């Protein structure tokens, strides 16, 4: 389809009162991205995009513009149905030719290829195209009424007869309409129905009166599920997670317990990656081939190179770069840290605002003290360095290549390459002190109890 012959209208004016939230419904997240973000990503066909919002929904408009700077935003002042919302977008739409695709901001699982197919079918046939699905339980959905295999009309559940309510082919929401007919058909809408609203679905019957047929493209019910409540949000999250896990496994990823792994919309997993139980990927993760991520680890905004090992119980925070064959072990946290090839941070450590050079070894309990309450400072640990257990590196500080830090050190000054640095109090011993201390306190105890 050509960019100048296609318009997309995204309806996002609904208040979402059943969500019981101060956050607009379409900004609730699924797989680490607002629902509206999924819809925007799945409608990148070029041409004009118009977002319809309700009054006082500046946050929705701001988010959308942050994703797609070229879209237009219009406000539906009086929310009188989906047809009225689409009519609000008319001044921004190219009318001469092409296709107008109408989608909903709260149906984030509709696939981009499905929408593209609808638009192409509309453009080639010159007819209206709707998206339908076979519902297990059609209650509440608009029914697609067929006659001789053709779509005659869509009837909303509240307006349907008993016979029509038995129909299981339901309307999913998206609709593609020839651009040259879109404005005229919207102008013919009336609100003579149970809700007193202007239904977008009435365009089908109006189209027939204008000599247009209607084609129903179908998709799986899981793809079309909308979100009107927190329970719907959880169901949509589960559906998208299943889809993403299946896609990852098809590309060579092993999940030891797939249902316990959570991915983000942009998670990238290489071939022969193995992911343990209860692992969570936040947005911005790129995992290269052959990486092992053990159970109960959490990664966000991180890049992990080929053959590295993470976890178990590791937290890899934004800005972390884990090098080839590096190892990040149990109860280790990294943040804005570059862990170079073959380096090891195996136990109970925090490495933040730092570089750990190739082949370096960070002992258990080591931390980089990178924050003074106002500013962040950098720690540089050279290649092949050995940092003894329970050390504190007070940034800014540099540990030279091959340097050795004694366990329990508090390092506040740079350490030269290949040097030994020990920064701790001198050990002293008083023979018999502990025995005398216990005896003294036992006597005091006896005196206070009157023995």
Q: Which long-range contacts (CB under 8 A, 24 or more apart) does 182-190 make?
A: 182/90, 182/93, 182/95, 182/100, 183/90, 183/93, 183/95, 184/210, 185/210, 186/83, 186/86, 186/87, 186/90, 187/87, 189/83, 189/84, 189/87
* Cβ-based neighbour number of residue 69 at 10 Å: 7
Q: Which run of H or of E encompasses 208?
A: helix 203-209
User: CA of 193: how far to CAs of 80, 157, 186, 196, 295, in Å?
Assistant: 12, 11, 16, 5, 55
Give the whole-angstrom CA distance, residue 26 versus residue 41.
Answer: 14
Pairing of strands 128-134, 99-104: unpaired
Read off φ and ψ for residue 157, nearest 5 degrees: -55, -45
Pairing of strands 150-155, 143-147: antiparallel
Nearest CA to 16 out of 226, 163, 330 is that of 226
Facing residues of 322 across strands?
304, 339
Active site (catalytic) residues: 347
């Amino acid at each position: 389809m050509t960019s100048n012959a296609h318009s997309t209208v995204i309806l996002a004016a609904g208040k979402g009162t059943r969500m019981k939230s101060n956050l607009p419904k379409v900004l609730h997240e699924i797989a680490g991205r607002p629902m509206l973000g999924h819809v925007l990503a799945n409608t990148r066909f070029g041409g004009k995009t118009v977002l319809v919002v309700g009054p006082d929904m500046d946050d929705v408009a701001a988010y959308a513009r942050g994703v797609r700077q070229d879209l237009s935003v219009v406000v539906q002042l009086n929310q009188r149905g989906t047809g009225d919302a689409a009519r609000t977008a008319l001044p921004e739409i190219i009318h001469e030719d092409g296709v107008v695709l109408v989608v909903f901001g709260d149906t984030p699982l509709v696939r981009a290829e499905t929408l593209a197919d609808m638009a192409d079918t509309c453009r080639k046939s010159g007819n209206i195209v709707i998206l339908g699905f076979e519902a297990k339980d059609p209650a509440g959905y608009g029914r697609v009424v067929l006659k001789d295999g053709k779509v005659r009309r869509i009837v909303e559940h509240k307006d349907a007869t008993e016979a029509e309510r038995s129909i299981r082919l339901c309307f999913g929401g998206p609709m593609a309409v020839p651009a040259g007919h879109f404005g005229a058909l919207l102008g013919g809408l009336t609100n003579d129905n149970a809700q007193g609203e202007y239904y977008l679905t009435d365009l089908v019957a109006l189209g027939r009166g204008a000599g247009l047929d209607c084609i129903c493209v179908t998709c799986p019910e899981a793809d079309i599920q909308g979100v009107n409540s927190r329970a719907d949000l959880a169901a949509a999250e589960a559906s998208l997670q299943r889809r993403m896990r299946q896609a990852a496994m098809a590309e060579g990823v092993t999940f030891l317990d797939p249902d316990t792994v959570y991915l983000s919309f942009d998670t990238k997993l290489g071939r022969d990656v193995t992911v343990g139980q209860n692992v969570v990927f936040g947005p911005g993760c790129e995992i290269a081939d052959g990486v092992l991520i053990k159970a109960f680890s959490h990664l966000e905004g991180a890049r992990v190179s080929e053959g590295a090992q993470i976890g178990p119980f590791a937290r890899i925070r934004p800005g972390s770069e884990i090098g080839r064959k590096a190892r990040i072990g149990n109860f280790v946290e990294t943040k804005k840290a570059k862990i170079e090839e073959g380096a090891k941070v195996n136990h109970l450590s925090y490495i933040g605002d730092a570089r750990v050079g190739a082949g370096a070894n960070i002992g258990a309990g080591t931390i980089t003290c990178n924050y003074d309450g106002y500013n962040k400072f950098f720690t540089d640990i050279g290649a092949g360095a050995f940092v003894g257990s329970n050390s504190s590196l007070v940034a800014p500080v540099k540990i030279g290549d091959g340097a050795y830090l004694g366990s329990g050190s508090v390092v506040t000054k740079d350490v030269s390459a290949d040097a030994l640095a020990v920064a701790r109090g001198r050990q002293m011993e008083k023979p018999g002190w502990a025995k005398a201390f216990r005896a003294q306190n036992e006597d005091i105890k006896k005196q206070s109890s009157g023995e």
